[in-house]
């Protein structure tokens, strides 16, 4: 069943993809969770808004010295699966709970309560009014606590520049098609509002202080094998969704050759596929009372 989301994406069907991506960044996510919950002011509660497959929530549930992790998502099946996953990884004394809610809803605070740390990864850009979304997330932060968002710094690359079929530079053109899909996704959202500033500035505009950010690489060098290879191949299928509408017939034909398991150019047999991306983390602090 398709549940309403502002971006018209049926997130419940994306569990496998989101779980795979959690696997790619699990070591970094563990370190981020440990860094964020430690420090001078002890953190006892985390709210993860748009928790996806639950990888981040699981990392927080494992890192907390006790307390609560609340997962919030609008996709009910995804939420149930993420809650199960985070519960499995929770340290002793950490309670995990899931709340189905829309991050764009004015009543978000009433539905989920507040926490020392509010985390939201790759979600705000799916909301019609991103600055209003950040303000709502900031409302969930207790005075003196932190709002942390992850937004993609650089999209993943997985292919060599010349793959031997079609014209060189295929992946750049496939990514350009995907960017154009993204622009349309945002433009077609009812009530869409542009956010004409970077994320650090946006966090300050949402009332947060001491804003800092850093990026980490997701770096799986060639040759990728096992689950990472599967992720790379599924990424090519994901790129194809936008390529069908946006790319030339030649580029689409080249991509189809890479995806053809029986053909001579099947990407799954290459030893030069890799996965390289950068994710950016932005942290803002809510003033103490």
75 is a site residue for ligand SAM (CB under 6 A): yes
Q: How far is the CB of 236 from ligand SAM (least distance, A)?
A: 19
Q: Which two tokens stand for residue 143?
A: 């005075």
From 3-11, 58-66, 156-164, 262-270, span contacting ligand SAM (CB under 6 A): 3-11
* Structure tokens belonging to residue 222: 């060639």
Q: Choose the stretch contacting ligand SAM; rule: CB under 6 A; options: 68-76, 153-161, 172-180, 203-211.
A: 68-76
Exposed, middle or buried, 207 (CB in 10 Å: 0-12/13-18/19+)? middle
Which of 61, 112, 123, 159 touches ligand SAM (CB under 6 A)? 123
Residue whose CB is less far from ligand SAM, 62 or 252 = 62
Is residue 137 involved in binding ligand SAM (CB under 6 A)?
no
Q: 53: number of CA atoms within 13 Å, CB side? A: 15
Q: Which residue reads 């900031």 in tokens?
A: 138
- By the rule CB under 6 A, 104 interacts with ligand SAM: yes
Please select the residue that binds ligand SAM; options are 32, 43, 47, 50, rule is CB under 6 A: 50
| Residue 122 sits in the site that holds ligand SAM (CB under 6 A) | yes
**Which residue, 6 or 89, is less far from ligand SAM as judged by CB?**
6
- CA distances from residue 32 to 8, 28, 59, 238 in whole angstroms, order as listed: 30, 6, 9, 28
* 21 makes contact with ligand SAM (CB under 6 A): yes
CB of residue 18 vs ligand SAM: minimum separation in angstroms? 5
Interstrand relation of 209-220 and 45-49 (parallel, antiparallel or unpaired): unpaired
The two beta strands, 67-73 and 94-100, are parallel
Smallest gap from residue 37 Cβ to ligand SAM (A): 17
Give the one residue of 45, 121, 130, 213 binding ligand SAM; rule: CB under 6 A: 121
74 in contact with ligand SAM (CB under 6 A) = yes
Residues in contact with ligand SAM, shown as a per-residue x/- string from 239 to 268 under the rule CB under 6 A: ------------------------------
How many CA atoms lie less than 13 Å away from 22 in the CB half-sphere? 19
Among 18, 43, 224, 281, binds ligand SAM (CB under 6 A): 18
Residue 78 as a binder of ligand SAM (CB under 6 A): the answer is yes
Kindly tell me which of 6 and 270 has the beta carbon lying closer to ligand SAM: 6
Nearer to ligand SAM among residue 51 and residue 68 (C-beta): 51
Rounded Cα gap, residues 126 and 205, in angstroms: 19
Using CB under 6 A as the binding rule, whether residue 5 contacts ligand SAM is answered as: yes
* Residue 222, Cβ density class (10 Å: 0-12 exposed, 13-18 middle, ≥19 buried): middle
Nearer to ligand SAM, 11 or 270 (CB): 11
Interface segment toward ligand SAM; rule CB under 6 A; list 98-106, 180-188, 231-239, 241-249: 98-106
Where along the sequence are the contacts to ligand SAM (CB under 6 A)? 5-6, 11, 18, 21, 50-52, 73-75, 78, 102-104, 121-123, 126-127
């Amino acid at each position: 069943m398709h549940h309403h989301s502002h971006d018209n994406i049926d997130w419940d069907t994306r569990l496998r993809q989101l779980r795979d991506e959690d696997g790619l960044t699990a070591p970094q996510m563990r370190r981020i969770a440990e860094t964020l919950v430690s420090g001078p002011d002890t953190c006892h509660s985390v709210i993860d808004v748009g928790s996806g497959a639950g990888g981040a929530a699981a990392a927080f549930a494992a890192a907390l010295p006790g307390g609560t992790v609340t997962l919030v998502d609008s996709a009910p099946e995804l939420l149930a699966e993420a809650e199960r996953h985070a519960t499995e990884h929770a340290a002793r004394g950490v309670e995990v709970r899931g709340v189905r809610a829309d991050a764009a809803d004015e009543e978000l605070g009433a539905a989920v309560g507040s926490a020392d740390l509010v985390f939201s990864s790759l979600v705000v850009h799916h909301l019609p009014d991103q600055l209003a979304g950040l303000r709502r997330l900031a409302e969930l932060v207790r005075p003196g606590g932190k709002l942390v968002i992850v937004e993609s710094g650089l999209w993943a690359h997985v292919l060599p520049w010349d793959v031997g079929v079609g014209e060189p530079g295929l992946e750049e053109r496939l990514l350009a098609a995907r960017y154009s899909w993204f622009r349309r996704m945002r433009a077609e959202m009812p009530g869409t509002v542009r956010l004409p500033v970077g994320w650090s500035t946006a966090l300050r505009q949402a009332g947060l202080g001491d804003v800092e950010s850093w990026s980490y690489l997701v770096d799986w060098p060639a040759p990728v094998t096992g689950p990472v290879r599967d992720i790379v191949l599924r990424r090519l299928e994901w790129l194809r969704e936008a390529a069908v509408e946006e790319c030339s017939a030649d580029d689409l034909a080249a991509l189809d050759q890479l995806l053809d398991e029986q053909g001579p150019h099947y990407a799954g047999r290459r030893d030069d596929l890799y996965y390289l991306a950068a994710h950016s983390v932005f942290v803002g602090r809510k003033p103490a009372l």
